[in-house]
Amino acid sequence: MSAIHPDQSTAAKLSGALRQPPEPEYNPQTGDGSLVDDPSVRALLVLGRNTTFADITETVCGYIEKGPGRWFWPTFFVAAQVAGLMPIMILYLIITGVGVWGLNNQVDWAWDITNFVFWIGIGHAGTLISAILCLLKQKWRTSINRAAEAMTIFAVICAGTFPGIHIGRVWMAWMLFPIPNYNAIWPNFKSPLLWDVFAVSTYATVSALFWFMGMIPDFATLRDRAALRLMRNPDSGQMIPLLNMRADRVMAIAYGLLSLGWRFSSRHWHRYEKAYILLAGISTPLVLSVHSIVSFDFATSILPGWHTTIFPPYFVAGAIFGGFAMVLFLMIPARELFPGMKALITLRHLENMAKIILVTGFMVGFAYSMEFFIAWYGANRYEQDVFVNRATGPYAWAYWTMIGCNVISPQLFWFKFCRQSPVVIFIVASFVTVGMWFERFVIIVSSLHRAFLPGEWHMFYPTPVDILTFVGSCGTFLTLFLLFMRFLPMFAMSEIKAVMPQASPHKH
Amino acid sequence: MSTAPVIYQTEAGKPVYGILAEFATPADVYHAAEKVRDAGFTKWDVYSPFPVHGIEEAMGMSRTKLPLLVGALGLSGACIGFGFQYWVATQGYATVVHGKPYGSWQAFVPVTFEIGVLFTAFSALLGMLIFNGLPRWHHPLLAKERFLKVGDDKFFIGIEAADGKFDPKGVRDLLLAAGATSVELVED
């Protein structure tokens, strides 16, 4: 964070060198101006009639070059401390054994797999926003796609940890992959757990490629800005003590390496756009396949409560639902903390996401009721018993928490003022995030805890290690997201510019 | 038709990369591109902070073959994935699972799909980079102070000296007539 003296910044403003990021004015009818009900009027994707391309560059690059503000490092410090719990708990688990978790003979999957499915579900909104909304030509995706993609990667990192550490003998985790070994043993490709390994690792890789590819032009913009400052003044930028280099020099080198020499050539853009569409096209079935395969882990077993064909679509809908909630949960505070972000993420964008939450909330609500219907209609006594137990048994509190958070709380979005109020959206998004964790807990633990014979009935009680590992994964997620906000372009500048009205070559 | 390439040099004796012209708006650069295309140049390019809509036609660009490459590699990835699973299940480590034949293919579909997707994604990104001649560490244009605004809000046309039709005076006049706000020589 480079400190500009107040007088300097006033002088810069007066001379026009430092443009203020456009702050939207509040209007009681249209909020920030984006809430237009007239279908013949196209709401602005970027607010401010006079917003120029340079304003977008200045705002987005400013978050990196000037730093996010005083709140950042204290928040980061706290998040990093919480994140530190995760490796400590994992180390404790490895040197002691899975007995440190509250698992027992009956409930042999609990918080570990709940956390895995929770995080992988959150990861789905990123690819959904990037890929499906891209194919559907939903231009408003440009406001949130980069942050959502980043969130995807970090959620998948958290998700991938849990199956890796739940296997008991962690040092044998390499046997999940088809690696030649001297016992000539190969994995069982007919097992859904193995499909899961391939689905999740492919998803992580492809999401990372997609994210990186989207950032190449923005890295080039950051590189060129640093290079321009250095060209004008070789000593520009703050001194970074450990590296013994100026910040601008570091940025020119780091973003220069990441930009791969991108030079905004139209012949390159042509292939870039084609590759982007291909990636979007292939990511769409991928995102649907990943959570379907995750659901196969359950659906292909013969356990009542898991053995059901509704799982793949139900899991995918739930993932989109939970993922959008997490995007809102992160971006609504970010909108307040970063100057000028309200012009990029407008109230209309938030309203659109609130509507998606309402729709996908109905889908999961439908799935919850359909499970009960099929349990009754299928006339399988064990299946019926599992569902009666789920709603009235010892885990009824978890079940009704899930219903309250996932089915009832989104109903607020029927009311326009709720859809248009960032505070209400934030509260509902938090409820949905909690509800989605409980959904996975209910599916896993309430189905497992009572098997066919009463002698096999056990309750699951989490230990402090269970709880702190999960808390640590939340800290890891937040730490990575904060680093992303500090060092990487938070918005796809080239894509935002391309959807602005003055980008059309046929406008004079 | 082959003429010996003329090598242009600056007064200081440095080889010339080409001529760079700046334009203020997407519309200006679009119409200028049409003029450069009609003048018959081949080694030239339009530089813009974002892909300008329809610039492919304005530049007379042919469609990229990238999708063919990506499709072919994606499908071969799927074939490799299926073949490997089949080999493991029937030869490498033949085990009876679910009481089904060793090579029952239905269970191989998810992994086949995932490997196909993985190959497709890598070939889309790497193919795009290779076709574009990237990554590269430096480019003559990036030494130009004016050009460093291309990622911000400026639009450029660059015509390379390697183009058969290149002549410094003519190119300069063409670009100025097409509405360039500035024209400058770029050293290699």
pLDDT confidence bin for A418, thresholds 50/70/90: very high
Which residue is associated with the tokens 């009311």? A415
Partner residue opposite B118 with nearest CB, options A206, A227, A265 = A206
pLDDT confidence bin for B4, thresholds 50/70/90: low
Higher pLDDT residue, B155 or A48?
B155
**Mean pLDDT, residues A468-488 taken together:** 95
Q: Would you tell me how many other CB atoms lie within 10 Å of the CB of residue A330? A: 20
Among B128, B131, B145, the strongest candidate for a mutation testing the A interface, having the largest count of A CBs within 10 A, is B128
Query: Residue A444 gets which letter from DSSP?
Result: I
A254–chain B Cβ distance below 8 A for any pair = no
Separation of alpha carbons B84 and B103, rounded Å: 11
Tell me which chain B residues have a C-beta less than 8 angstroms from the C-beta of A268: 132, 134
Contact: B45, A188; criterion CB under 8 Å: no
A95–chain B Cβ distance below 8 A for any pair = no
How far, in Å, are A20, A34, A198, A274, A496 from residue A345 at the CA level?
17, 10, 35, 27, 11
Contact: B137, A185; criterion CB under 8 Å: no
- Could you tell me which residues come within 8 angstroms of residue A283 by beta carbon, excluding any fewer than 6 positions away? A127, A130, A131, A206, A207, A210, B117, B121
pLDDT of residue A3: 47
A296–chain B Cβ distance below 8 A for any pair = yes
Indicate the Cα dihedral angle A51, A52, A53, A55, nearest 10°: -70
Separation of alpha carbons A7 and B12, rounded Å: 45
Indicate the helix (H) or strand (E) that contains B157: strand B155-160
Distance from CA of A156 to the nearest CA of B (A): 16
Query: Residue A143 gets which letter from DSSP?
Result: G
Share of chain A above pLDDT 90, in %: 62
- Could you tell me which residues come within 8 angstroms of residue A112 by beta carbon, excluding any fewer than 6 positions away? A101, A162, A163, A165, A166
pLDDT of residue A507: 62
**Mean pLDDT, residues A3-18 taken together:** 49
Is B122 within 8 Å of B87 (Cβ atoms)?
no
Share of chain B above pLDDT 70, in %: 97
Separation of alpha carbons A486 and A65, rounded Å: 9
Domain ranges across chain B: 16-62+137-187, 66-131
Contact: B142, A210; criterion CB under 8 Å: no
A220–chain B Cβ distance below 8 A for any pair = yes
pLDDT of residue B14: 84
Partner residue opposite B151 with nearest CB, options A188, A224, A273 = A224
Residue A14 has pLDDT above 70, yes or no: no
Strand order in the sheet with B182-187: B44-47, B155-160, B16-23, B182-187
Burial class of residue B184 in the structure, from the number of CB atoms within 10 Å of its CB (0-12 exposed, 13-18 middle, 19+ buried):
middle
Least confident of A1-15, A222-236, B121-135, B153-167: A1-15
Tell me which chain B residues have a C-beta less than 8 angstroms from the C-beta of A212: 125
pLDDT of residue A28: 64
Reduce the DSSP state of residue A463 to 3 states and report it.
coil
Residue B3 has pLDDT above 70, yes or no: no
Contact: B124, A52; criterion CB under 8 Å: no
Tell me which chain A residues have a C-beta less than 8 angstroms from the C-beta of B45: 265-267
Partner residue opposite B148 with nearest CB, options A194, A227, A274 = A227
Separation of alpha carbons A452 and A449, rounded Å: 10
The per-residue DSSP string of A30-53 comes to TBTTT----TTSPPPSS--TT--H
Is A391 within 8 Å of A326 (Cβ atoms)?
no
For helices A311-337 and A145-166, angle between their N-to-C axes, nearest 10 degrees? 120
**Mean pLDDT, residues A289-303 taken together:** 91
A224–chain B Cβ distance below 8 A for any pair = yes
B44-92 pLDDT, tens digit each: 999 999 999 999 999 998 889 999 999 999 999 999 999 999 999 999 9
Separation of alpha carbons A472 and B3, rounded Å: 69
- ipTM associated with this complex: 0.93
B106-130 pLDDT, tens digit each: 999 999 999 999 999 999 999 999 9
pLDDT of residue B1: 46
Least confident of A316-320, A492-496, A503-507, B182-186: A503-507
Residue A22 has pLDDT above 80, yes or no: no
How far, in Å, are A48, A156, B149, B183 from residue A52 at the CA level?
9, 36, 14, 24
Indicate the helix (H) or strand (E) that contains B175: helix B168-177
- Could you tell me which residues come within 8 angstroms of residue A440 by beta carbon, excluding any fewer than 6 positions away? A113, A114, A117, A118, A121
Residue B168 has pLDDT above 50, yes or no: yes
Among A53, A58, A189, the strongest candidate for a mutation testing the B interface, having the largest count of B CBs within 10 A, is A189
A174-220 pLDDT, tens digit each: 888 898 888 889 999 999 999 999 999 999 999 999 999 999 999 99
Share of chain A above pLDDT 70, in %: 92
Which residue is associated with the tokens 């509507």? A355
pLDDT of residue A461: 94
Partner residue opposite B50 with nearest CB, options A202, A260, A498 = A498
Tell me which chain A residues have a C-beta less than 8 angstroms from the C-beta of B65: none
Peptide bond into B135 cis (omega under 30): yes
Least confident of A124-138, A240-254, A356-370: A124-138
A54-66 pLDDT, tens digit each: 888 998 999 998 8
Q: Give me chain A's average pLDDT, please.
A: 88
Contact: A266, B45; criterion CB under 8 Å: yes
| Bridge partners, residue A240, by sequence | A245
Separation of alpha carbons B15 and B10, rounded Å: 6
- Could you tell me which residues come within 8 angstroms of residue A213 by beta carbon, excluding any fewer than 6 positions away? A272, A275, A276, A279, B125, B128
**Mean pLDDT, residues A418-422 taken together:** 91
